[in-house]
Amino acid sequence: MSTATTAPDALDALLEVLRGGEAGSGVQWLDSSGQPVSAGPSSVSIRLSIGSSSNVFPRDAPTRLARDRPTILSSNPLHTPSSSPHLFLALDILVFAALEPEESNAAYLLKANKVMPGRFLNATTRPVILAYLIRAEGCPLLLSKEEAERRKVALESAGPSTTPPDSPPPSVVALYSGGLSAGAGSAGSSSTLKRTRGPYVANATDAAFVKRLRTSGLEVHLRTRSDVLRGSVGGNVVDFSSIRESISGLVKNATGAHANAQGGVGEKANGSKAPASRSAQSGINSSINPSGAQKRRRGDPIILLSSAPTALVGLSNIESLLGKSRFITQQEAKAGGMAPGIEGMISLYHPISSSAGAAASNKSAASAGGSTNPARGQRFLVVDSVEALGRLGSGAQDAWDRVVAVFTTGQLWQFKGYRTQDPKALWREVMGVYVRWSNESRNGNVKDWNVTELVVDLHKRHLDKQLSTQFWRTLDSWMARNKPELLGNPTSSSGR
């Protein structure tokens, strides 16, 4: 067995071992006395064996695999494994990576840092190096033997160099003409290099396009935002700037008066607060509506219940069902002290759904709906008789325009005194609601009516939440389609 203490190229010896299929037994880590040890700080050299021959290299022997691509592309003869070892990968880094080819990047980094702290391949370089070492694929980081020998000869023929390490290569220096400035007398002068810039030559295609654009009359010159009001049609100048001038005073007065009215107070001469003047408020009204007539504000939507004694839902228990999502009978509600409302009316609050709110936003502010409490939602007025309905608003006719839902028991006498006494015609104007027990059959009249049916279970109170949700979701959708003007907007009045 012949043993050599040195070898002409550590990389060739490693490739011979790896590609000969003896990576497991052909690599040994040696300590200072030449005894085999495990990879780690105690090892100082590496023995690479194949067959009867073996070579021993220092573990930090540089190879012809560079750490980065610029080292390979550089024409600086100083960049060789022997003259610039810090720019090339050491043998121990390649050996440890080749012995752990199947490990993930995370596992490899953990092992390498534990065995050889700071000496490992990064996640982008490792796949390229392993592909070259094991599968003999091309590697952009490899410095060929010919290039290494050429650089070595150039380095030896150049003799001792006075060029500082990592100086710009000649190809970069060649971009600058004029050399050092006139005052520089030595090669070590700190004067800066001046780069010669040639005259700018415009692209011929771009120049022809710009010329054609400017001579064709298609170019538009926008100087101010008012220039868009002026133009030329058929050779005639069209000027709409007079419109802006005619309404500028009106806009100024309206915006100023509106700001004062929103503040609610005006400044007196002595600094105290005073209410905004009526003339300022009238200026707003006249600016928005020149005729001075303001559209009448709509009130709160109304829900009309059936006054039949057999009705499952009345004034005494509707708040429990639709407000608290729990059904109790009218008898239980009255026994519990729940009042049937004042003057045959109670109020319910319900948050406006996103779809209903979108429909409301499409309406004019002048046709705002009923009052809305941001903390409680939109208010609905609930009555159980035509007489109570007539006391709302400015008359029965106006109140009927605000009715959005009517609860029915299916009995025809209920509609006596209604504005529309035909049930089928009534359900085209309002949303019909029919409530029954789950163990009861449906009323024969209801089968032919377009109404929403709420079925109350006798014992399962956890289902009451579904009934409440079903009612409000159906009512929101119906109002958005049929009476969006009644959807609530924040107002300060009661809406009654």
- pLDDT: is 374 or 169 the higher one? 169
pLDDT for the residue 453: 93
Residue 474 has pLDDT above 90, yes or no: yes
Residue 368 DSSP symbol: -
- CATH 3.40.50.11990 residue ranges of the chain are 302-486
What's the mean pLDDT in 66-74? 74
Given a cut of 70, is residue 240 above it in pLDDT? yes
- pLDDT confidence of residue 425: 92
What confidence score (pLDDT) does residue 160 get? 62
Residue 453: its H or E element: strand 451-456
DSSP state of 486: G
C-beta pairs of 325-329 under 8 Å, 24+ apart in sequence = 325/464, 325/465, 325/467, 325/468, 325/469, 326/461, 326/464, 327/456, 327/461, 327/464, 327/467
301 neighbors 423 (Cβ within 8 angstroms)? no
Q: What is the pLDDT of residue 1?
A: 43
Higher pLDDT, 258 or 135: 135
Which pLDDT score is estimated for 253?
80
Instruction: Please give the pLDDT value at position 297.
Output: 52
Q: According to the model, what pLDDT value does residue 378 have? A: 87
317 pLDDT exceeds 60?
yes
Q: Has residue 289 got a pLDDT over 70? A: no
Per-residue confidence band for 380, with pLDDT thresholds at 50, 70 and 90: very high
**Of 2-16, 86-100, 113-127, the least confident:** 2-16
What is the model's pLDDT at position 32? 86
Looking at per-residue confidence, does 340 or 482 come out higher? 482
pLDDT tens by residue, 6-19: 445 888 888 888 87
d(CA 48, CA 184): 54
pLDDT tens digits, 203-212? 888 988 888 8
pLDDT for the residue 213: 84
Cα–Cα distance, 188 to 185 (Å, whole number)? 9
pLDDT in tens, 47-62: 888 777 888 888 888 8
Share above pLDDT 70 across residues of the chain, in percent, rounded to a whole number: 67
Second CATH level (architecture) for the domain 302-486? 3-Layer(aba) Sandwich (3.40)
pLDDT of residue 174: 62
- Please state the rounded mean pLDDT for residues 65-72: 77
- Altogether, the residues listed in the chain come to a count of 496
Across the chain, mean pLDDT equals: 75
Q: Quote the pLDDT of residue 108.
A: 87
Which pLDDT value is given to residue 313? 92
Q: What is the pLDDT of residues 400-443, one digit of tens each?
A: 889 999 999 998 999 998 999 999 999 999 999 999 999 998 88
Predicted pLDDT of residue 195: 61
Assess whether pLDDT exceeds 80 at residue 196: no
CA distance linking residue 317 with residue 314, whole number of Å = 6
Average pLDDT over residues 274-280: 45
Asked if residue 481 has pLDDT above 80, the reply is: yes
